[in-house]
Amino acid sequence: MSAHKNKNRNKNRNKSGNGSKGESRSAGGSESKSTGGGTVGEALKALYGDARDDRALDTAASLLAADRSADAELSLRGRELVRTLWTRGWQPADLLRMARRELGDEHVRLLASLVRSETAGYERLPHRWQAQLDALESEEPLRADRFSYATTTLELYRLLVRLPRLDAVGPVPGEALPPAVAGEPKMLTRIRALLAKAEATTYAEEAEALTAKAQELMARHSLDEASLAAGAPSPETPGAVRVGVDAPYEQAKAILLDAVATANHCRAVWNEAYGFSTVVGFEADLEPVELLYTSLLVQGTAAMTRAEAEQRKAGRKRTKSFRQSFLLAYANRLGARLAATTRRVAAETPTLLPALASREVAVTTRTDELFPETRTTRVRAAWDEAGWDHGTTAADRAGLGAPPRGELR
């Protein structure tokens, strides 16, 4: 079974996050602690106490509920917290992921409202941010009563001020941004369309052919990029993107993402504590990797559901170990097939192998710069032979073979 890297910066590994140079200062920092004065300043002091003791939070919520004049200031402080987190490496999708993991729907809606308000004033946003904003909860936070709303707000702010610094994976709002690119690259549009069809079809053979085309198109595009770089070296350096890796069975999902990234000249580092992997690579490879991973996960989940239904008909009760084994086998088998496809395509143009190797060295170097301390995580899963066999079969049907080259031209 393939091993996987997991970020570990602080002594408490389960709470290490993705901190830069071991920093774990709160997002609120000393500035928020020293505000003092007024109802909001007094109430926010409760954010820095023992997170397991809600008595101080209840007292603070009572203060806020009794003072309607504090509402605007409380909202302003929330937008300031969000803005501070942008400068500390967090992005909208990261914050929403944490709120969903740690809190409830009302907190997620409130956070989405704060993020929308904070980002509305920027003329331009960094690449990928608009898609994250489009995915925000559309419902406004409920205000059942003032005390409940104040409690929800303080619980959310308490989470936000305790988030550590992350390694930046791109510019933040307000910073100088590279020139905007008009429209989506044609290659990416084709990959997106192929994978959408693969997810939608109910025929395994059709999904196989469509996914195979998408993977081979990605491999050939990487060769094209390497060829361009070899002919006219550019100042482009590898970038990074975070991809959510959500429970359940997040270890198997992280292994699948790692396999997709590695086969497409990227590297993935999993942060278990905060539910994401950081994929490092050249810009032309990053979004295709995310697209293929998402599609394969959708296809794998659907195949697992069908396999469970077949097993139930045979009278066998499905278990967690079946699902774990299924997804681990699926990820393991796909990793081997993806790598084989990439090697086959690269072998067709051996003169580009040095350029590809140079780009991979650059990606590895950048990964080591971002994550100087990683550790290998052993697979933690109960064994189920039926689940493993079904997962392997599903991976074979995911379709990474070699369709006729004429179909890709």
Q: For 243, which DSSP code?
A: E
The pTM score is 0.78
Q: For 280, which DSSP code?
A: E
pLDDT at 375 over 80: no
Going 291 to 293 to 296 to 301, the CA torsion angle's sign is negative
Q: Are residues 62 and 147 in contact, defined by beta-carbon separation less than 8 angstroms?
A: yes
What are the pLDDT digits (tens) for 2-31?
A: 344 444 333 333 333 343 333 333 444 434
Sheet (strand 374-377) strand order: 239-244, 276-281, 267-271, 4-7, 374-377
Q: For 372, which DSSP code?
A: S
Q: What is the distance, to the nearest Å, from the Cα of residue 263 to the centroid of all Cα atoms in its chain?
A: 18
Name the band, by pLDDT with cuts 50, 70 and 90, for residue 61.
very high
Q: Give the count of beta carbons closer than 10 Å to the beta carbon of residue 4.
A: 24
What are the pLDDT digits (tens) for 277-332?
A: 999 999 889 988 998 999 988 888 888 888 877 777 766 766 777 888 888 888 88
